[in-house]
Amino acid sequence: DAGVIQSPRHEVTEMGQEVTLRCKPISGHDYLFWYRQTMMRGLELLIYFNNNVPIDDSGMPEDRFSAKMPNASFSTLKIQPSEPRDSAVYFCASSFIQGQNEQFFGPGTRLTVL
Amino acid sequence: DQQVKQNSPSLSVQEGRISILNCDYTNSMFDYFLWYKKYPAEGPTFLISISSIKDKNEDGRFTVFLNKSAKHLSLHIVPSQPGDSAVYFCAATLTYTGTASKLTFGTGTRLQVTL
pLDDT number for residue A89: 96
- C-alpha to C-alpha distance for A88 and A39, rounded to whole angstroms: 9
- In degrees and rounded to multiples of 5, residue B30 shows phi and psi of -60, 135
Tens of pLDDT, residue by residue over B13-72, are 999 999 999 999 999 999 899 999 999 989 999 999 999 999 999 999 999 999 999 999
pLDDT number for residue B65: 98
* Cβ-based interface (< 8 Å): residues of B facing A: 2, 6, 32, 34, 36, 41-46, 49, 89, 91, 93, 95, 98-108
pLDDT number for residue A98: 59
Q: What percent of chain A has pLDDT over 70?
A: 95
Taking an 8 Å cut-off on Cβ atoms, the answer to whether A98 and B100 are in contact is: yes
Burial track A96-110 (b if 16+ CB lie within 10 A, e otherwise): eeeeebbbbbbbbbb
pLDDT number for residue A99: 52
Lowest mean pLDDT among A86-95, A97-106, B54-63: A97-106
A102 or A99, higher pLDDT: A102
Determine the residue of chain A that is closest to B2 in CA distance: A41
Per-residue confidence at A1, pLDDT binned at 50, 70, 90?
low
Tens of pLDDT, residue by residue over A15-32, are 999 999 999 999 989 899
Average pLDDT, chain A: 92
Per-residue confidence at B78, pLDDT binned at 50, 70, 90?
very high
What mean pLDDT comes out for the span A67-96? 95
Residues of A in contact with B107 (CB under 8 A): 39-42
Nearest to A42 among B45, B93, B108 (CB): B108
A92 or A101, higher pLDDT: A92
Strand segments (E) across chain B? 4-5, 10-14, 19-25, 32-38, 45-51, 56-59, 62-67, 72-77, 86-93, 104-105, 109-114
Q: Residues 6 or more apart from B99 whose CB is under 8 A from it?
A: A50, A55, A98
pLDDT at B101 over 90: no
pLDDT number for residue A61: 87
